[in-house]
Amino acid sequence: MRVQYLLLAGALGLLAPAMASAATTVEYSYAQIYLSSSTVDLVPSTSAAGVLNGIKCIFPSSSPTTLKITVTIDTTASSLTVDPTYFERESNGGGQYLSGWIPFNTDFNSSIHVQLNNTGLGTSTINCWASWWHT
């Protein structure tokens, strides 16, 4: 009897990670914006439920330009303008401005879309990443 319980527990232990990964897809998105008056998708329109964990951007040292990030969650859009001159700056290398991870930890029930926009904010090459997951 004890052997049967051990076998059952072992089988469930092997199945649990597979069951968990089948329901959740972890995403790591990247986008670069460099043309003036443009908009790019950081997280493309996705119809699912999940969580936006955070966004991170790197701005050039030569011409740090502000950036507008628009997050649309379940048809409700919110925007924030990011000024890199308030960020940490590399002490070596190119002296780029680093945002670090901007935490969102925001749930979405039906859809998500994240865009980067620099219209009227200047032009420079800005690299951004988003960490998120969906079911």
Using only C-alpha atoms, what is the Rg of the chain?
20
Question: Tokens in use for 105?
Answer: 């930890």
What is residue 64's predicted lDDT score, i.e. its pLDDT? Answer: 77
Query: Any idea where the domains of the chain sit in the sequence?
Result: 25-134
* pLDDT tens for each residue of 95-117: 899 999 999 999 999 999 999 99
* Mean pLDDT, range 20-30, rounded to an integer: 83
Counting residues of the chain whose pLDDT is more than 70, the rounded percentage is 83
Counting residues of the chain whose pLDDT is more than 90, the rounded percentage is 67
- Tell me which residue of 96, 125, 95, 31 sits closest to 69, measured CA to CA: 31
Instruction: Give the integer Cα–Cα distance in Å for 1 and 72.
Output: 55
* pLDDT tens for each residue of 53-93: 999 999 998 877 889 999 999 999 999 999 998 999 988 86
Of the listed ranges 9-18, 91-100, 115-124, the one predicted with least confidence: 9-18
**Angle, alpha carbons 46-83-125 (nearest 5°):** 65
What is residue 22's predicted lDDT score, i.e. its pLDDT? Answer: 55
25-134 placed in CATH 2.40.50? no
